[in-house]
Amino acid sequence: MTKLSVNINKIATLRNSRGGDLPNVVQFAKDVQRFGAQGVTIHPRPDERHIRYKDAFDLKPEVYTEYNIEGNPIPKFIDMVLQIKPTQVTLVPDSVDAITSNAGWDTIKHKSFLEEVIIEFKNNGIRTSIFVDPDLRQIEGAKNTGTDRIELYTEAFAHQYGLGNKEAIKPYVECADLANTMQLGINAGHDLSLDNIKFFKENINGLLEVSIGHALISESLYLGVENVIAQYLDKLK
Residue 98 confidence (pLDDT) above 90 = no
Is 20 a residue whose pLDDT tops 90?
A: yes
Tell me which residue of 132, 154, 151 sits closest to 141, measured CA to CA.
132
Instruction: Choose among 149, 154, 88: nearest CA to 121.
Output: 88
In tens, the pLDDT along 71-97 reads 999 999 999 999 999 999 999 998 655
Q: What is the pLDDT of residue 94?
A: 80
Strands annotated E in the chain: 3-7, 39-42, 66-71, 88-91, 127-132, 149-153, 185-189, 207-212
Count how many Cα atoms sit within 13 Å of the Cα of residue 180 in the half-sphere of its side chain: 11
50, 66, 151, 190: the active-site residue: 190
In the residue annotation, 70 being an active-site residue is answered as yes
* Per-residue pLDDT reduced to its tens digit, 44-58: 999 999 999 999 999
Does residue 174 carry a catalytic annotation?
no
pLDDT for 99 equals 47
Residue among 218, 134, 198 nearest 2 (CA) = 198
- Choose, from 66, 70, 209, 219, the residue flagged as catalytic: 70
User: Residue 188 in contact with residue 200, Cβ under 8 Å?
Assistant: yes
What secondary structure letter does DSSP report for 191?
S
User: Average of pLDDT values for 141-145?
Assistant: 98
Rounded distance between C-alpha atoms, residue 5 and residue 208, angstroms: 11
User: pLDDT per residue over 165-205, tens digit each?
Assistant: 999 999 999 999 999 999 999 999 999 999 999 999 999 99
Pick the catalytic residue: 43, 151, 209, 219? 43
Segment 146-166, tens digit of pLDDT: 999 999 999 999 999 999 999
- Residue 43 is a catalytic residue: yes
pLDDT at 52: 97
